[in-house]
A and B are shown apart, each in its own frame.
Chain A
Amino acid sequence: MMEDTLTYSETTREFLDFLRLDKDYRSNALDLLEDGKSRYLADLKVNFKNSFESEQLSKKEVALLGVALAANASHALLGEFFRNNAQEEGASSAEIAEAVACASLLSANNVFYRFRHFLNKEKYNEIPARIKMNIMARPVSGKEFFELISLAVSAVNGCEMCVKSHEASLLELGTKEERVFEAVRLAAVITSVTKVIY
């Protein structure tokens, strides 16, 4: 059995505390970073914490985007963190559920539409998708925010067609590019956190 020979740095311990993780939380990636005294951990923590100081996204929106992005990453720890955050910021359970649903549906769409986009063959564009998307009809958190989650998830999953269409649809709804940018930045940072905390 591996002994706890490594005590994490103050920076990391504060980060774990911020994430409401246990004092003796350990991950292999953290061990390696700590072992090499990597300054990356401070950067990662600053990147993450700064995401909560957005002028474009409310604290509740950050939390709900977090719920969706954690779900997209199948990440239980971050999912729990953001769910608590969302509740504290006044999100209803319906809104939280919708964030999870949106992430799951979009991950299906990202695979599917990416395929259509890659091949761009008439035949594949004609066959009906048979993927139910009823939750898109009347989102509880509003059309604009649903689109924003869709865009953030699509950016992570790397579907060009989805990213382009959701961005276009957001601008049509009057969303400012700065807000679109912040949502994608958040998605990027959360993705980087999932590589170290899991």
Chain B
Amino acid sequence: MTKGVLSVGQPFPTFKKAAVVSLEKGKEFFDISSEDLINDEGRWTVMFWWPKDFTFVCPTEIAEFNKSFGEFRDRTANLIGASTDSEFVHLAWRKNHDDLRDLRFPMLADTSKSLAEELGILEANEKIAYRATFIIDPQGIIRWVSIYDLNVGRNVKEVIRVLDALQTDELCPCNWEKGKETIKA
């Protein structure tokens, strides 16, 4: 009934969704679209999903990602958190929880569940998203996926390690070897 999870090498699906970006009145919401993922500036995207707002494991994990916000920024990667809750539930949760008030990344609202569905990360019974993490390159291609079951927390350090490994390294001509293709940035 469901197709598999979108995986490495496939383009991230197109979408346009509301996200909570601030607690400030009038500036709470912002639309994020898949077009933002594709860019010439070498900006990567890390999108991580959780099953439901207002649950226990989630805020710990989200706070952990938030603590590492600078690590992602320094690696020119945009961090996006997402669940199938609406932007209004996101906002209420952020207001309600101490650890979430100062979030530095947007919380995407996949209210119609269309994106989670397309990504193949919807849990069959409850129709909520698994703890999936996607690393998407500046061309909009999925380069890494990890999926944890509903109750398993993630290791943010591992996500950073993978991002480091994926991003181009050793562009220096000192590293040039015969037969290697020309260095591209």
CB nearest neighbor in B for A39: B76
Q: What is the size category of the interface that chain B forms with chain A? A: under 10
Least CB distance from B60 to A in Å reads 22
Least CB distance from B85 to A in Å reads 29
Bound Cα distance from A43 to B74, whole angstroms: 7
Least CB distance from A8 to B in Å reads 14
Least CB distance from A171 to B in Å reads 23
Chain B positions 54 through 76: 1 when the CB is less than 8 Å from some CB of chain A, otherwise 0? 00000000000000001101111
Find out whether the CB atom of B73 lies under 8 angstroms from the CB atom of A46: no
Question: Does A42 sit within 8 A of B, measured CB to CB?
Answer: yes
Residues on A with C-beta less than 8 A from B157 are: 53
Partner of A42, one of B75, B161, B164: B75
Residues on A with C-beta less than 8 A from B75 are: 42, 46
Find out whether the CB atom of A14 lies under 8 angstroms from the CB atom of B164: no
Find out whether the CB atom of A11 lies under 8 angstroms from the CB atom of B164: no
Residues on A with C-beta less than 8 A from B73 are: 10-11, 42
Bound Cα distance from A135 to B32, whole angstroms: 62
Interface of B is mostly: helix
Chain B positions 2 through 30: 1 when the CB is less than 8 Å from some CB of chain A, otherwise 0? 00000000000000000000000000000
Least CB distance from B93 to A in Å reads 26
Question: Does A74 sit within 8 A of B, measured CB to CB?
Answer: no
Residues on B with C-beta less than 8 A from A39 are: 76
Known contacts A46-B164, A50-B164; is A11 also within 8 Å of B70 by CB?
yes
Residues on B with C-beta less than 8 A from A117 are: none
Residues on B with C-beta less than 8 A from A53 are: 157, 161
Find out whether the CB atom of A45 lies under 8 angstroms from the CB atom of B164: no
Bound Cα distance from A45 to B157, whole angstroms: 16
Bound Cα distance from A42 to B73, whole angstroms: 8
Least CB distance from A131 to B in Å reads 32
Least CB distance from B135 to A in Å reads 16
Within B150-164, the residues touching A (CB, 8 Å) are 157, 161, 164
Within A13-40, the residues touching B (CB, 8 Å) are 14, 39
Bound Cα distance from A46 to B70, whole angstroms: 10
Least CB distance from A34 to B in Å reads 15
Residues on A with C-beta less than 8 A from B164 are: 46, 50
Least CB distance from B175 to A in Å reads 13
Residues on A with C-beta less than 8 A from B70 are: 10-11, 14
Residues on B with C-beta less than 8 A from A42 are: 73-76
Least CB distance from B44 to A in Å reads 13
Least CB distance from B167 to A in Å reads 10
Least CB distance from B127 to A in Å reads 38
Bound Cα distance from A14 to B74, whole angstroms: 10
Residues on B with C-beta less than 8 A from A10 are: 70, 73
Residues on B with C-beta less than 8 A from A43 are: 74
Least CB distance from B102 to A in Å reads 14
CB nearest neighbor in B for A43: B74
CB nearest neighbor in A for B157: A53
Bound Cα distance from A43 to B157, whole angstroms: 17
Across chains A and B, which 9 residue pairs bring their CB atoms closest together, nearest first? A42-B74, A46-B74, A14-B70, A11-B74, A45-B74, A46-B75, A50-B164, A11-B73, A10-B70
Question: What are 21 contact pairs spanning A and B, CB under 8 A?
Answer: A10-B70, A10-B73, A11-B70, A11-B73, A11-B74, A14-B70, A39-B76, A42-B73, A42-B74, A42-B75, A42-B76, A43-B74, A45-B74, A46-B71, A46-B74, A46-B75, A46-B164, A49-B71, A50-B164, A53-B157, A53-B161
Which residues from chain B sit less than 8 Å from chain A, CB to CB?
Answer: 70-71, 73-76, 157, 161, 164
